């Protein structure tokens, strides 16, 4: 299939999905795993591919009307109400829709702060499922005094959860489910650990939120990360950084969720935001090192998804090409774009939506349509390939 035909098939598939409402009610308010991520794709498709019969706006109205005063899945960024409110703000900021975003946020902000404070009380700093994801969106509202006060609490709580070592500052805030809750470990991750936290700290810093503490945490945590890279093997494609410091294995795949890309993005974003050229040089060093992992086996992937598949790899290289203009990143983005097209498989069975993806040993291969693991995210990555200009949808994943 061509890029254009895949994009159109995803769009048509999404419209049928929304009309059928064949998704888990628990995911009805989800951006990354539910219909709100489908909306993100619809709006971008209608702006950049085909606006002859727009319907994204009407579906937005329908989904918004079903939001519950007491969210089924709370206020987490992945599954809860923070996702939809992030999307509304994003669509307004980039002129997809015209709404009173500050008026809409009046009820959301205090509830989100309350939920985030509950997360902080149990040291849940997770980006997808904890305080970090909520604060990711609250950073859009730093003109609210209550938000500023809460973000200061977030920084203070993160500092308290950290641990200074001889090699820099550790952030052992990732909890392995098979261990006790108090046995956190470091993870070089956007989804669950250090890398997303550093990016959020850099954004809090320039917003004037505890800037001295933010800078200290960032600097010391970067020292810790950089110290924990694996020995370099010039002739062998391998992970430069482990995904999780749990003492098991130094391996990590090329992905949005864990590993080398995560470290590179944190270094680049923090270096760019805080004007630290050395961090940006380190980021490019890591990205260049990843280029040799140009097969599925070397990258450690099996499907096309944005979270841990080829579409996500293409999105990372494309973003770094836009940031640097380096042809090597453009070439890598093109390579993984073509790799993604080769992986696209739709179901011929009525009522089955999305693109085939690997859902783990329990579920194995399933058809997925969501933003994180399915066709919504894959479609946005493919769409970015044909526009020629950076698209801001990747703000949802901290890439911009």
CB distance 173 to 161 below 8 Å: yes
SS3 of residue 18 by DSSP: helix
CB distance 310 to 344 below 8 Å: no
135 is in an annotated binding site: no
Q: List the alpha helices (DSSP H) in the chain.
A: 3-20, 35-48, 56-65, 82-93, 101-121, 131-138, 145-161, 194-206, 211-227, 260-274, 277-290, 296-299, 310-324, 327-343, 375-387
β-sheet bridge partners, residue 185: 174
CB distance 127 to 192 below 8 Å: yes
257 is in an annotated binding site: yes
Q: How far apart are CA 377 and CA 391, in angstroms?
A: 13
307 is in an annotated binding site: yes
Classify residue 309 as left (phi > 0), alpha (psi -120 to 50) or beta: beta
Token pair recorded at residue 83 = 């996702």
Neighbours of 269 (CB within 10 A): 24
Neighbours of 216 (CB within 10 A): 14
Q: How far apart are CA 353 and CA 370, in angstroms?
A: 10
Q: How far apart are CA 385 and CA 298, in angstroms?
A: 23
Q: At how many degrees (to 10) do helices 310-324 and 277-290 cross?
A: 140
Rg (CA), the chain: 20
Q: Which residues are annotated as a binding site?
A: 257, 307-308
Binding residues for Zn(2+), by number, are 257, 307-308
């Amino acid at each position: 299939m061509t890029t254009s035909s895949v994009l159109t098939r995803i769009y048509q598939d999404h419209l049928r999905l929304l009309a059928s409402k064949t998704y888990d009610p628990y995911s009805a308010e989800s951006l990354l795993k539910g219909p709100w991520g489908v909306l993100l794709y619809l709006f971008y498709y209608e702006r950049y591919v085909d606006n002859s019969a727009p319907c994204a706006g009407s579906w937005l109205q329908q989904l918004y009307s079903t939001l519950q005063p007491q969210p089924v899945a709370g206020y987490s960024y992945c599954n809860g109400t923070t996702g939809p409110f992030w999307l509304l703000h994003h669509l307004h900021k980039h002129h997809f829709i015209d709404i009173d975003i500050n008026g809409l946020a009046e009820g959301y902000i205090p509830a989100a702060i309350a939920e985030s404070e509950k997360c902080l009380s149990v040291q849940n700093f997770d980006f997808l499922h904890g305080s970090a994801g909520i604060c990711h969106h609250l950073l859009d509202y730093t003109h609210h005094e209550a938000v500023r006060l809460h973000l200061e609490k977030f920084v203070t709580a993160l500092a308290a959860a950290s641990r200074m070592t001889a090699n820099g500052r550790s952030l052992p805030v990732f909890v392995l489910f098979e261990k006790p809750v108090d046995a956190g470990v470091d993870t070089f991750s956007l989804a669950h650990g250090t890398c997303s936290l550093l990016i959020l700290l850099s954004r809090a810093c320039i917003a004037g939120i505890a800037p001295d503490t933010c800078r200290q945490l960032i600097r010391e945590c970067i020292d810790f990360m950089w110290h924990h890279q694996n020995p370099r093997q010039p002739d062998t494609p391998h992970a430069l950084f482990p995904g999780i410091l749990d003492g098991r294995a130094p391996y990590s795949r090329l992905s949005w969720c864990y590993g080398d890309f995560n470290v590179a993005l944190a270094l680049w974003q923090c270096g760019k935001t805080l004007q630290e050229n050395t961090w940006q040089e380190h980021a490019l060093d890591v990205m260049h090192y990843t280029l040799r992992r140009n097969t599925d086996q070397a990258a450690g992937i099996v499907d096309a998804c944005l979270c841990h598949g080829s579409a996500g790899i293409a999105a990372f290289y494309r973003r770094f090409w836009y940031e640097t203009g380096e042809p090597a990143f453009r070439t890598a983005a093109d390579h993984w774009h073509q790799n993604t097209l080769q992986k696209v498989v739709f179901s011929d069975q009525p009522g089955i939506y999305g693109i085939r993806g690997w859902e783990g040993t329990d579920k194995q291969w399933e058809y997925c349509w969501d933003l994180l693991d399915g066709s919504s995210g894959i479609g946005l990555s493919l769409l970015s390939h044909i526009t020629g200009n950076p698209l801001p949808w990747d703000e949802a994943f901290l890439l911009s």
